[in-house]
Amino acid sequence: MHLVVPVALLAMPVSGCGEGSRGVALLPPAPSERMAISESQPENPFVQMEGGPLARSSFAAIVSGYAIEVRDFLVGPAQKAVSVNVNGATVFEVRDGMGAVTIGDKTAAVSMGATFTVSEGEKLRIEASGGPLILRAHTFKAAP
């Protein structure tokens, strides 16, 4: 009886992998009349900025005398270094990819998870390396 249990346990995984097992076939391809391209559009698509990266605003509000805006930037891998106009004190977070940022005359390498700040009026240039670079910017400015 003690010999039957280990042999049965050993035989169970092997028996499912043999040539006699009945597997499930792949699904047939969908009929061509059901292969229509979706006409839906994103609620808030990226828009090409003049001379810069693709950008979209995710959030904007005026709270306690401050204008707060959250924007996403997408720098393509084939783009040269692009300039970004910063309209206030901004904290950037690298959401995906890697590249280099130049703030004023200082250049630094950045990758996913990195954060950096840009003061109002500073010149910012961003360049992706290897693939696209996605950044999220949190901008704070005194409300007009």
pLDDT for residue 13: 54
What is the structure's pLDDT at 8?
Answer: 52
- In this predicted structure, the answer to whether residue 5 has a pLDDT above a threshold of 70 is no
Domains of the chain are 47-142 (2.60.120.10)
The pLDDT value recorded for residue 35 is: 74
Instruction: Find out whether 135 and 73 touch, Cβ atoms under 8 Å.
Output: yes
Q: What is the mean pLDDT of residues 6-28?
A: 61
Average pLDDT over residues 95-114: 96
- One-letter amino acid identity for 69? E
pLDDT (0 to 100) of residue 73? 95
Distance CA 75, CA 141 (A): 24
**Torsion over CA: 57, 99, 48, 89 (sign):** positive
Sign of CA dihedral 81, 87, 91, 94: negative
Beta partners for residue 57, in sequence order: 71
Give per-residue pLDDT as tens, 28-58: 887 877 777 788 888 889 998 887 899 999 9
pLDDT tens profile 53-84: 999 999 999 999 999 999 999 999 878 889 99
Of 3-7, 16-20, 27-31, 65-69, which has the strongest mean pLDDT? 65-69
